[in-house]
Structure 1
C-alpha cells in the first residue's frame, strides 16, 4: 500500500490434521507431498463468527540486509501453494521507495533461509507494491495484480516459480485507488480497491472474463467508513463472499455479500484485531495489518474452505514514533482463528 497518513487449497500451515506436524517453538513444519484443504472438510455455517479468537506466530519473515530494497520493511504479502512450495510476493522498502520481492519455500516457517528476489521487471514507473498473485487457467497465465505509477497494474507469467519470467507491468486503465484485488465468478472478473480521495470507501469495478485484464466498467462504491486493502474470497463452507478490509486503526473488518456484484454488509468492525489476538512467541506486533488468507486453491476464484477456520499471513509491528509510513519496520507472521 502507499498511503500518506498520520501515524497514530490449497493448504493450511498451522493445522493439517494427520498431514502436518508442527513444532511451534522450533518454528518448523513438514508438509505432505500432496497438499490438502485447511482443517477438516468444509462444514455448513450460516454466517461468520464476528469476533473469533486469533493466535499468531512469531516473525516468520523480516526485513532484509542493510542496503537491500527491503532493508526497512517487508509487507503486503500475497501467496499461493504450487508445486510443493509456497510462493510469496510482497512489498519491500528501504525507507525511500516501495518495491516488490519474491521468495519461495516448502514451508512458511523456513522462508528466512531462502533466497529473496527483487522483482525489477515489474517497475511501473517510480514505485510498485501491494501484489496479488493467482493463476487464471482460461488465460493460460499466472497474474500479478499490483499498484504502481501506472495505477492498477498487471504482469503475467507462464510459471509462478520463474521469478525472472514476469512480463513488464501494464496498466489496467484506471488509477483512482490503491490495493487492487481481483476475483472472478463464472462470467466476470471484479476488482475491489480502496479509494485514494479521502472518502474512506471501497470501490468495485468489473470486466468480462474475455476482456480481462482490460475493459473495466465505471466504479461502484461498495463499503464506506473504512480504509484500505480489501481482500475478497469465496467461502466454500456457506457459499458466501467475504471481504476483509483494514481500517485506519490497523485491524481487519469483515464484510459479506451473497455474490460479487451484490450489496455488502458488515459482519464485524473488529474481526481480527489486537484485542482478540494472542501472540504465541513473544510480543512483536500491536497491529493486525495488510494480510492474505491462505486459499484452498490458486486460481481466480479466490476460494477458502471456511472463514471460521482460516489462517492469515499478515504484517505487524510494535507501535512507535516513526518519521513516516514508509519508515515503519513491518515484518510478517501467520495468524489463525482455530
Structure 2
C-alpha cells in the first residue's frame, strides 16, 4: 500500500513541529489535539515554529479530540505523541480510524509499544524513539530547540510486526530529522529510558534548565547513577545496550561509561542553555509528569528482581510530592538527591 493520509495524534511542542515538517515536505497531515486553545489558535493563525532565531508559519488541519468520532476516512499512518500515560486511551481513540493496513507509531517516551500493539494489533504497530527538545507555552506557537538537522529518531517493529514497512515510514519521518531503522526497538526504547531517567526529573526537581542542573556540584554523578540503575533494569529484562543518537558503541566499556556517553551526546547535540525537560515543562503548566513511566518503572523492575534503585526512587518520591503539592521544586533538594548515592 502507499501512505497517503497521515495523522499526528498529540500535537504538543514536538508533535506540532514534526507535523509542520511533514506538511512542508508535501504530505497530507491532520493534527488531532486535546488542548482546545491550541487547536483554535492553529485554525486562526497557522502553526508557528521558532527555531534558531527563525520563525515559520505553516497552515495545517487541526481537529479537537472530540471530532475524531465525526471522521469518516481512515489514516494510513498515525504518529502518536501523547504522554506515555495517555497512550492506551489514545490508541483506543484512533483505532477506528486506522486503516486495516495502516501503521500506528508510538513516537513518545516510556515503554508503551506493547500496550499500543495490544490495542491496534502488533501487525499495525511500530515502536519509536525520539530525541529532540521543544517547548510550547502559548497555543499555536512552538519553540524548537533541536533543529531538523540534529533531531534523531529510531523506528522498528515488535516481534511479529511490520518490520518490512519500517523503512517506508522512516523515509516520511526524515522530513523532520535523522531516522534509523533498528531490529530491536524495545532495547532502543529502554536505552532512551536510561537517558530520560538521568535528566528529565532531576532537572525539574532542582527547578533549572538541563544544562544548569547538570552543572550543580555532584549532580552529574547522581544522574549517572540513576542511568546505571535504569540500564541494569533493562539488562535484567534481557534487553541490549545499543548505540544511540549516532554513537558507535554500546556498554562494552562498562555501564558508567555507556551512561556518560549517552548524557554527553544529549547535552552536546540536543540541549541549549535554556532547554527545559518535558517534566519541568509539565510542572510549569501545572500538569503531572511521566515520572511513573520512567523512574517509577525502573524502581518497579529492579524491585521485581530483588534489587533497589535509590537514585530513581528519590526522584520518584520528590516528583510525586511536587505533583501532590507537598513539595516545591528547587536546589534545596540537591542534598537529598546526593544522599542516595551512598545508599546501598
TM-score per shorter chain, which class?
A: under 0.3
Q: Which has the higher strand share?
A: 1
**Greater relative contact order (Cα 8 A, min sep 6): structure 1 or 2?**
1
Q: Which has the higher helix share?
A: 2
Q: Normalising to structure 2: TM-score of the pair?
A: 0.27
Q: Normalising to structure 1: TM-score of the pair?
A: 0.27
Q: Which has the larger radius of gyration?
A: 2
